[in-house]
């Protein structure tokens, strides 16, 4: 198992944690004691959406974002795996619309 450093830019400030490559970012953040926005936990809504500022991730399990939003680096953190060290801006739901 590989671990990646994930830095979240939240409205409350910056937080970092280590995320295993086989665990969703939202789940790993919660295990690290970080409170994040979410609703469905299935990749079918936009409550947990963040914007990737640096790094790569796999969000192939999501079914909500369209191609343009993915190209603009938006990601549903409840169904996204880190594939490198990341910097992610959280709480970006209002930016989608």
CATH code of 29's domain: 3.10.20.30
How much is the mean pLDDT over the chain? 97
Q: What is the pLDDT of residue 95?
A: 96
Give the strand pairing for 3-10 and 86-89. Answer: parallel
34 backbone φψ class: left, alpha, beta (φ>0; ψ -120 to 50):
beta
Does the pLDDT value for residue 97 go beyond 90?
no
Rounded Cα–Cα distance for residues 23 and 93 (Å): 22
Which tens digit of pLDDT belongs to each residue from 46-92? 999 999 999 999 999 999 999 999 999 999 999 999 999 999 999 99
Query: Which has the closest alpha carbon to 90: 22, 18, 14, 21?
Result: 14
State residue 27's pLDDT score: 98
Provide the number of structural domains found in the chain.
1
The H-or-E segment that residue 27 falls in is helix 25-31
Is 97 buried (19+), middle (13-18) or exposed (0-12) by CB count in 10 A?
A: exposed
Per-residue pLDDT reduced to its tens digit, 14-40: 999 999 999 999 999 999 999 999 999
Domain that holds residue 86: 3-96
What pLDDT is recorded for position 18? 98
Structure tokens at 95: 């930016």
């Amino acid at each position: 198992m590989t671990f990646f450093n994930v830095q979240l830019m939240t409205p409350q400030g910056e937080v970092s944690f280590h995320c295993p490559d086989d665990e969703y970012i939202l789940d790993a953040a919660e295990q690290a004691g970080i409170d994040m926005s979410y609703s469905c936990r299935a990749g079918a809504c936009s409550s947990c959406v963040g914007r990737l500022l640096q790094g790569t991730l796999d969000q192939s399990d999501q079914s909500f974002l369209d191609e343009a939003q993915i190209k603009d680096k938006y990601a549903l953190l409840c169904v996204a795996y880190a594939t490198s060290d990341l910097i992610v801006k959280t709480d970006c739901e209002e930016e989608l619309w």
